[in-house]
Amino acid sequence: MSDSNGPAGGTGGALTALVRAVLDQPGMSFRRLAEAAVDPETGYRIGQTWLHKLTRGEVSRAPEPQVLRALAAGTSLPLTRVQQAAAEEFLGYTASELAGMPEDALVIVGHLADMDPTDLPQVRAVIEALLSKGDESSGKREV
């Protein structure tokens, strides 16, 4: 038996919340999510029953890697974000260096982790240009 925040018999945790948030989006349903949740590496498909169990906090074991890849594909979230949510919910592990960041920032960081390293300098240049533009409009200058 676990507490109300644990995976078994409770309300779930980070992965459960992530999937619930996707299901709360307009036009999304368990059926649509299950249809989209296909592991690109193995072709493994997540069933609606498993998704229902997850959202009710009835999944007691950490999902297999193919399930996490399928969830990432179905939710259109970076795989690293899905893996982090599963680690938090089922292993009690939280990446402390990302704790406290807004959800949008976590999604961006997750996408960066999955990018080709040769593309990262271009992304950095875009971010620096945006920051520079913000500094100019607020009257701040780099020293």
Same domain, 103 and 122: yes
Residue 48 above 60 pLDDT? yes
Structure confidence by residue, pLDDT tens digits, 129-139:
888 887 666 66
Residue 33 above 70 pLDDT? yes
| CATH number for the domain that contains residue 68 | 1.10.260.40
Same domain, 82 and 112: no
Domain that holds residue 136: 97-143
**Structural domain total, the chain:** 2
Which candidate, 79, 76, 86, 80, places its Cα nearest to that of 33? 76
**Per-residue pLDDT at 21:** 95
Same domain, 38 and 19: yes
- Per the CB < 8 A criterion, the answer to whether 72 and 24 are in contact is no
Transcribe the chain into DSSP letters. Answer: ---TTSSSSS---HHHHHHHHHHTSTT--HHHHHHH-B-TTT--B--HHHHHHHHTT---SPPPHHHHHHHHHHHT--HHHHHHHHIIIII----GGGTT--HHHHHHHHHHHHS-GGGHHHHHHHHHHHHHHHHHHHT----
Same domain, 89 and 102: no
Same domain, 81 and 118: no
pTM over the 0.85 mark: no
Structure confidence by residue, pLDDT tens digits, 51-61:
999 999 999 99
Residue, of 115 and 74, whose pLDDT is higher: 74
Residue 95 above 80 pLDDT? no
Lowest mean pLDDT among 72-76, 79-83, 104-108: 104-108
Same domain, 45 and 85: yes
Angle at 92 between CA 28 and CA 15, to 5 degrees: 5
Residue 4 above 50 pLDDT? no
Q: What tokens does 60 get?
A: 């007691």
Q: How would you class 142 by CB atoms within 10 Å of its CB: exposed for 0-12, middle for 13-18, buried for 19 or more?
A: exposed
